[in-house]
Structure 1
Amino acid sequence: MRIASLFSGAGGFEVGFGSAHNTILLNDIAPSAISVLRTQFPQATLIEDVRNVQQGDINSADALVAGFPCQDVSIVGGQRGLAGTRSALVEHVFRLATAIRPAHILLENVQSIRFVHGGRVLLYLMYAAEKLGYSWAYRTLDSRAFGLPQRRRRFYFMASRDSDPGEVLLSDAGSTLPANSLDPSLPVGFYWTEGRSGHGLTADAIPPLKTGSSIGIPSPPAVLFPNGGVKIPTIETAERFQGFPEGWTEAAPPRLRWGLVGNAVSVPVVRWVSDRMNSPAVWDRKLSSPMPDRPIWPLAAWGDGRGLRLAVKVQEAPSSLELGRISDGNYTWTDLSDRALTGFVNRARESRLRYPEGFLERLEARLR
């Protein structure tokens, strides 16, 4: 396929689709992303402002892909939906789709798009696809089920002009992810920047990588190891946690690399979608039921483009589940500072959150 990529970031879609497809256009306004994209995809046209991308730039595209800005639909963001200036930029995807009518539109965002702001952003996506006469499907997928040691639930939306996107996203009903049962003999990931209102405790993996502060201060999750060490991943390890090769974002300033990686689309998930686009299969309509009312949309759904909308009961992991584990990999780490760890423990002790027995005590032993 010829692919036009909007809000390209670090290029996760492009790496996932691989060399079998031709990226004809890239787009991102962030200087750090521009540096990486120009380095990694020197042959592709790059237009910085999505508002400047016009029909003539992408007329030959078979697919429009976009990991559009999530700040206004994220739980930790403003939750302003399309009233926010950043997430509203997704409207340019459909502006261009209306002009060129590509065979496919593929979008990625945070899974909370299903319910924040009353679910209206997802309602807009469904309506915009139907207005074009495209059938659509969406599904929540967890990156950890694709071999990455990162619990990262993300929303994938596909609209197609002449084919059924359900045959791509829904035909594999999937497997159930194992319970997040913490075991002191295995690493435990957590957000050291939190503690009072959340912690992100994750067994043998990290919670979702974040972008860091608005001024580029990185805040990768920490990991408590069975030997009592408390460490954070290096930027190279964080790249691997998203499926990129080590050093993929080296062209960006060091501090800003974390934001690129935290915002990125997980490469193996896109590769799975690409493989299924090459080999579509019929999906089981027995797994569907009438679409519920808002404000919380289901984890997966399908629409025929003419008004029929169905909830679909599929899992967040494919049947080829390959659970990513920190303990299975050879990763590089640095120590979390005593000051940062002390701050987390103090916040955790003051909070009303429940922590597993012995977890905070092990952190305090590390400080002693």
Structure 2
Amino acid sequence: MRTIGLFSGSGSLEAGLEAGGHECLMLCEVSEPARRVLASRFPGVPVAHDVSDLARLPSCDLLAAGFPCQDLSLSGGKAGFDGARSGLVREIFRLIDANPVPNVLLENVPNLVRLNGGRWAGALADAFEERGYRWAYRIVDARCALPQRRERFFMLASRVLDPSEVLFGDEVPPPSAPFEIGRDPVGFYWTRGASGLGWAPHCTPPIQGGSAKGIPSGPAVLLPDGRVVKIGLRDAERLQGMRAGGTEAAGGEAARWRIVGNAVAEPVAEWIGRRLACHGRPEGLSTRPFGGAETAWPQAASGGPGGGRMRVAAGPLPFWRPRGGLETYLRDAEPLSARATRGFLARAARGRMNFVPGFIEAVRSHLEAVERAAGGWDLFDAAA
């Protein structure tokens, strides 16, 4: 398929689709650092500046858009499509109305389905049905291909194919992965501790563009050998399925963290691309109608004009790609500084969270080791 990307950011959604066998014709991104990244990753592909200024699109088979999530995310204002940022989704439908496109792929945070009982998922379904599109959506976790826990909402709408045949394939359960402190790595947000931790055995919590403290930094990982490390930018790029250093064209670290934190996990986009190229009727997934008195929207669903809306029993792991352990991605990690570790432990002590036995003790041991190695002066304080 010939694709056009809107709100392109790092270009990870479009790059994944290309890896799945499709051709990118055009991109659109307003952020200058991200535009530099797109120019480096997609040489020769035109990059429009502001989606609001677009009137005409080249003829294409698929319009892909990871539109802004700020008004839909758990940490945002929760204004949904009434917000100034997430409300830009209306630009997508304006362009569809002016430029008939057979297929549309949307990406956003999973809270889009949960916020206000699924009001905004319903708004998308209504908008597509009014325009004659069948649609399907599901939540997909990047853990199916990478050691990062990262759930994202993907919605495919089409006038020419059945989106259910693309997004709902044969489910492949992941291998069993027991966890034990001191034997297995676990990721967590070192900037939290009092409430919320991002606890992620065998992987990291979602890579973010900035921490809860406003620090452009990645999460921490407690390794089996007892060290606590903070992942580096290049590690974060690897954990998104990107080439390490793939966002260097953006410039400074803060801009790069923002771009990487907003990216789509490329192997997930590649899976969608391959399913678009070769799809089939799903088997073994139960469905049932929903709507009417129901107030919550499901994690996966399908529908279309003139037809009923169906709840689909699809989990967040539609496939499983073998890969190395989390440690193999951490080639640029640094020890979590004594100052940062003390801050985390202080927040944990003030809060009321129940931690896995042995976790807090392991973090304290890391603090003692860092202080001992520095002779009382923390070499890593500057990197806190």
Q: TM-score range by the shorter chain?
A: over 0.9
Shift of 1:43: 1.1
Matched length: 365
Q: Against the structure 1 CA distance between its residues 235 and 294, is the aligned structure 2 distance closer, same or farther, given a 3 Å change threshold?
A: farther
Q: Against the structure 1 CA distance between its residues 204 and 266, is the aligned structure 2 distance closer, same or farther, given a 3 Å change threshold?
A: same
Residue pair 2:64, 2:104 contacting (<8 A) in 1 also? yes
1:226 lines up with 2:227 in the alignment:
no
Query: Hey, what's the Cα distance between the residues in 2 that align with 1:179 and 1:116?
Result: 31
Shift of 1:294: 5.3
Shift of 1:335: 1.6
Q: Which amino acid aligns with 2:73?
A: S
Residue 363 (structure 1) aligns with? 363
Residue pair 1:136, 1:302 contacting (<8 A) in 2 also? yes
Query: Hey, what's the Cα distance between the residues in 2 that align with 1:122 and 1:151?
Result: 22
Q: Against the structure 1 CA distance between its residues 266 and 280, is the aligned structure 2 distance closer, same or farther, given a 3 Å change threshold?
A: same
Residue 35 (structure 2) aligns with? 34
Residue 68 (structure 2) aligns with? 69
Residue 192 (structure 2) aligns with? 194
Q: Against the structure 1 CA distance between its residues 246 and 328, is the aligned structure 2 distance closer, same or farther, given a 3 Å change threshold?
A: closer
Residue 275 (structure 2) aligns with? 276
Q: Against the structure 1 CA distance between its residues 294 and 59, is the aligned structure 2 distance closer, same or farther, given a 3 Å change threshold?
A: farther
Q: Which amino acid aligns with 1:93?
A: I
Shift of 1:63: 0.7
* Cα deviation code 1:187-237 (max 9, x no counterpart): 110001111110011111100011116997313110011222111111111
Residue pair 2:142, 2:148 contacting (<8 A) in 1 also? yes
Q: Which amino acid aligns with 1:143?
A: A
Q: TM-score, normalised on structure 1?
A: 0.94
Shift of 1:295: 4.2
Query: Hey, what's the Cα distance between the residues in 2 that align with 1:344 and 1:48?
Result: 41
* Cα deviation code 1:37-70 (max 9, x no counterpart): 1222231111111101112xx2311111011111
Residue pair 1:80, 1:117 contacting (<8 A) in 2 also? no
Residue pair 1:216, 1:256 contacting (<8 A) in 2 also? no
Residue pair 1:136, 1:305 contacting (<8 A) in 2 also? no
1:251 pairs, out of 238, 243, 249, with: 249
Residue pair 1:137, 1:301 contacting (<8 A) in 2 also? yes
Shift of 1:176: 5.4
Alignment of 1:314-329 (within 5 A): 314-322=314-322, 325-327=325-327, 329=329
Secondary structure at the aligned position of 1:199 is classed as coil
Q: Which amino acid aligns with 1:24?
A: L
Q: Structure 1: 5+ residue runs without aligned partners?
A: none
Secondary structure at the aligned position of 1:275 is classed as helix
Query: Hey, what's the Cα distance between the residues in 2 that align with 1:113 and 1:281?
Result: 27
1:204 lines up with 2:198 in the alignment:
no
* Cα deviation code 1:233-291 (max 9, x no counterpart): 11111101000011110001222101100100110001101111111101248611112
Q: Against the structure 1 CA distance between its residues 329 and 237, is the aligned structure 2 distance closer, same or farther, given a 3 Å change threshold?
A: closer
Query: Hey, what's the Cα distance between the residues in 2 that align with 1:280 and 1:234?
Result: 37
- Measured on the aligned residues, the alpha-carbon RMSD in Å equals 2.0
Residue 338 (structure 2) aligns with? 338
Q: Structure 2: 5+ residue runs without aligned partners?
A: 369-384
**Aligned residues with identical type, % of pairs:** 41
Between 1:44-53 and 1:11-20, the stretch displaced more is 11-20
